[in-house]
Structure 1
């Protein structure tokens, strides 16, 4: 007596070995009045040589029954999954249409070109290949090439008024201004001397006030000299980085300091004049 695991393996192998096939597969095309145009009894070993042509006002009907291969009792099988696949070999477009199968294994598919299903892919001048796909846990999977179908060529989709906005726009090309010309070094040096000239004038005036060597570094005059130098540094900083509001703020603070240091320096100069007299 076979063991239970071995019996289960044999049962599964026998189930997988059984194949599904079709009984009496038939496809018919009809015109707009319902009159039949063409009927084909499908052979599973070979597709019809001429595609089934369906015009804009025509329809098509496919009927068949799913049975086990070699079973002549006429008992149908209801697979777990049944699909029709429409495939365009030229464009690679495809569509999958699920089919409803009864408990007796009978199924049908109606195609009305007045309202085609969404599973039909975009069509071209080339016919579509129609394939039946069957899936069942108790049987081996089946893929049957049924026939080719010639459908009217798809019309291009209407253009949306905002469609051009989603296309690539021309590249924006920015023209930069030419590189700023730098003046000659001689001219830069000349204007540097003009900028430093007030300090020369200040030194000359101080030499007139103090005969002999100027006492710029005396404790009473040095703060005033430093405040004037701070103004020069502030102007240079403004030229490099600062904004006008910042310059006015810092300049106002330095102005107050310069006023007090200037009064101190003038008082010191006056006291020395009095002492000389």
Structure 2
């Protein structure tokens, strides 16, 4: 099983793969297998309490077009997985044993597993385990999934009432709850169909026209009041400069009206204030001049009477 990807510019492979089982106290029990990737070892290895399981290999990165020689590369993600075989219902609840390990920049990897440290796990379900290496490298879309073969863990069956076993089982149950269901239990969910909200009911047209009339009503009232108090063209400013000033003043007031309308329709409060500040300063300045001119002309009219 070679790991390559059409989307990456290189392929991953393994070399110098060796699997060794030894016991420091019994050299005669040493078992060693030299493998050629992606082949698995021919017969199961046997591991007993006190044994050490050593796995060594070199991870190589070679150009996809084979224009350059392969060179060692560090695996950015590396795991060894022990899955009980066959995975019966009694064994499935414990799940696989997954261990991570480190590597060197030259691509040399070594896994040293002291079986005694995992006796709580293997003694609860002794027997044959399928061993797999999972290696990932940045830039390689497809990781290496290398099945080494079968290892038989010959451990005495643990007492399920042992407090240490009970405590370990509780920790593993909590971890499985955090991890969620295995991949095999995931399935396609029903398609999500969006439920769009029905269109809002608009008020009758007559109501809208009536509201608009109420909003616009102050303007004809204002014109009527101006006519009632006797506004005449002769009362307008006499000089062009004052005429422009009065026009700017009324323009500033009208600008506030349009600004209020824009705030009601689309502007936000801070945007409205940003526009209102310079408009207020401008209207205050021209208004001061315009109103001063009105007061001056009223004083002149009073004196002439």
TM-score range, shorter chain: 0.3 to 0.5
Greater Rg by CA: 1
Structure-1-length-normalised TM-score: 0.47
Q: Which has a greater percent of helix?
A: 2
Instruction: Give TM-score, length-normalised by structure 2.
Output: 0.43
